[in-house]
C-alpha cells in the first residue's frame, strides 16, 4: 500500500510541474488571417491564429493554433534574429496564388521559415510571386 501511495504522490507532483510549466508559456502572437496559407507542409484555413512557443528555448518549435477550428500545426524556424521593433506580425511569401508562412515576429524575436525550392517552383508555375505581411498582437516572453 505504501508503494502505491508513493507512486500516486510522484505522479501528482509530476503532473503539477507540467501544468506550472505550461502556464508560464504565454501566447506570442495573435493574428486574424483572411486567407488560407501553408505552414511547413500543411495548408491551414483562414481564421484567427495564436502562435506559442512550446518550450522555454527561444529557437525551438512553435505551435500555430486556429482559434476557430482548434487545428494546430508545429513549425520549426530555420533562422532566428532579435526583433527590431515589438510589433508582432506574420510574414508570408505568395507564390502561385498560395501564401507560404515565411516569418513570425514576436515582441522578442523574428522566426524565419524556408519554403522548399520544389514547392516554390510548383506554385510559381501557376501565378506570379508576391510578398504579404499580416500584423498581429502579442505578449512578451
Number of other CB atoms surrounding residue 4 within 10 Å: 8
Encode pLDDT of 19-70 as tens digits: 444 445 565 899 999 999 999 888 999 999 999 988 887 778 999 999 989 9
Strands (E), the chain: 27-33, 37-39, 42-44, 47-53, 62-66, 72-75, 79-82, 89-95, 98-105, 109-112, 130-135
Between residues 140 and 54, which one has the greater pLDDT? 54
pLDDT in tens, 120-134: 777 666 655 555 556
Amino acid at each position: 500500500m505504501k508503494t502505491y501511495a508513493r507512486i500516486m504522490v510522484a505522479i501528482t507532483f509530476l503532473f503539477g510541474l507540467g501544468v506550472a510549466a505550461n502556464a508560464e508559456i504565454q501566447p506570442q502572437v495573435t493574428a486574424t488571417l483572411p486567407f488560407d496559407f501553408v505552414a511547413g507542409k500543411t495548408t491551414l484555413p483562414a481564421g484567427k491564429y495564436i502562435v506559442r512557443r512550446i518550450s522555454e528555448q527561444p529557437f525551438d518549435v512553435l505551435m500555430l493554433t486556429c482559434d476557430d477550428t482548434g487545428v494546430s500545426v508545429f513549425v520549426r524556424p530555420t533562422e532566428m534574429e532579435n526583433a527590431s521593433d515589438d510589433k508582432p506580425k506574420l510574414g508570408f511569401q505568395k507564390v502561385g496564388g498560395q501564401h507560404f508562412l515565411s516569418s513570425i515576429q514576436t515582441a522578442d524575436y523574428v522566426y524565419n521559415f524556408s519554403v522548399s525550392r520544389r514547392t516554390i517552383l510548383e506554385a510559381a508555375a501557376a501565378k506570379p510571386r508576391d510578398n504579404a505581411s499580416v500584423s498581429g498582437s502579442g505578449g512578451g516572453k
